[in-house]
Structure 1
Amino acid sequence: MPSFEEITRHHDVDPDDDPWVVGPIKEAAVLVPADPGWPARYAALAEAIGSVLGDAVLEIEHVGSTAVAGLAAKDVIDIDLVVADPRDEDAYVPALTPLGYVLHIREPSWHEHRCLRLEVPRVNLHVFGPDCPEVIRHRMFRDWLRAHPDDRARYEDAKRAAAAGGAGYNQSKEGVIREIYDRLFRAAGML
């Protein structure tokens, strides 16, 4: 289990790394109203992933905005997949390829993160190793937004402003995300 310090620290990708295996892909940030069908879509996707990976799946979770009821989001399901070693791409990428997943991002400097993309339906499959602090952060952020409507609304406002701004969607939301993380970490007694 990662320490509180590891979980609360904002880990950044090495700016000298080129993470793109395929890409970069320019994708407009188009927010849609919350869709009550997103959890069922995730469940079907998780079942398909589990069926091809079997015991290689240590954990799988629906994360990101589509995992928060009532939150407008891009119509993209984000999934965190934990495997024994994300560097061992042969242990999971070939099995996921027939489902349509394509390895797009490899970020060794950021928890050995890999991201596979599925076009239809749109999915970002984030692959991490065991005890990765980022997996814990994703779940804590999701659960906080589910339980705190004021921060959910604040985050949605930031997402709308970022989407309207064009370039730099993720970077434009970062200030609000870090404010929310600070609140949730303090509430959890981690800071």
Structure 2
Amino acid sequence: MLGLPEGEVFLTPWTQEWEREFLLEKEKIQKEIGDNIVEIHHIGSTAVKKLSAKPIIDIAVEINDFNEGENYVSSLEKIGYSYKGTNILPDRHYFSKGEPRTHQIHMYQSGNKYLQEQLKFRDYLRNNDEAKIEYEQLKLKLSKLNKSNKHKYAEDKTHFVKTILGKVQ
């Protein structure tokens, strides 16, 4: 199942479907703006096997020049994305797809610190079962406490994420 209605926070168990969805979406994005892409990464919890997650595929699109990001809006709109600008999350162009939301694109300039943190955190969880289990338990607890407040849910995970990043920096 994919899709998170606006204003809701809930987790679903990991499924192989998420990897397939990412690969299908990656192909569509490459077809539209491929010549301008450094790399496309599957990020977020759906990118970590056996980790429950909000049912949204997070995609990081790495480009050479951040200022070129707005040039890709119309191409990404053709495949269903809405451009939300650069003020939603720091140092990225943000796009969402679907209602309920099924996919998100975080478009970063290559080398961006937030992109690097996303990849390091993902890779750490992929390679450390104990941390993955601890993170999942935290997320399950927070999703119950913050069923209608995604910002509080995300904020309450910050300490855990920073602790992990401190281990891999």
- Please give the range of the TM-score, normalised by the shorter of the 2 chains: 0.7 to 0.9
Q: Which residue of 2 aligns with 1:184?
A: 168
Q: Which residue of 2 aligns with 1:189?
A: none
Q: Which residue of 1 aligns with 2:41?
A: 61
The amino acid of 2:93's aligned partner reads: R
Query: Structure 1: which 5+ runs fail to align?
Result: 1-24, 186-191
Change (3 A) 1:108 1:131: farther
SS in 2 for 1:69: coil
Question: Which protein has the larger Cα radius of gyration, Structure 1 or Structure 2?
Answer: 1
Distance in 1 (CA, whole Å) between partners of 2:32 and 2:108 is 18
Worse-superposed segment, 125-134 or 81-90: 81-90
Identity between Structure 1 and Structure 2 (%): 24
After the TM superposition, which segments of 4 or more aligned residues of structure 1 sit over 3 Å from their partners? none
- Two-structure CA RMSD over aligned residues (Å): 1.9
Distance in 1 (CA, whole Å) between partners of 2:142 and 2:111 is 31
Shift, 1:184, TM fit:
2.6
Shift, 1:143, TM fit:
0.8
TM-score, structure 2 length as denominator?
Answer: 0.87
| Structure 1 position 71 matched with structure 2 position 85 | no
TM-score, structure 1 length as denominator?
Answer: 0.78
State whether residues 88 and 94 of structure 2, in contact with CA within 8 Å, keep that contact through their aligned partners in structure 1: no
**Where in structure 2 are the equivalents of 1:1-191 lying within 5 Å?**
26-107=6-87, 110-111=90-91, 113-119=92-98, 122-166=102-146, 167=149, 168-185=152-169
By percentage of residues, which structure has more helix? 2
Distance in 1 (CA, whole Å) between partners of 2:110 and 2:162 is 24
Q: Aligned residue pairs: how many?
A: 160
Distance in 1 (CA, whole Å) between partners of 2:6 and 2:67 is 26
Query: Structure 2: which 5+ runs fail to align?
Result: none
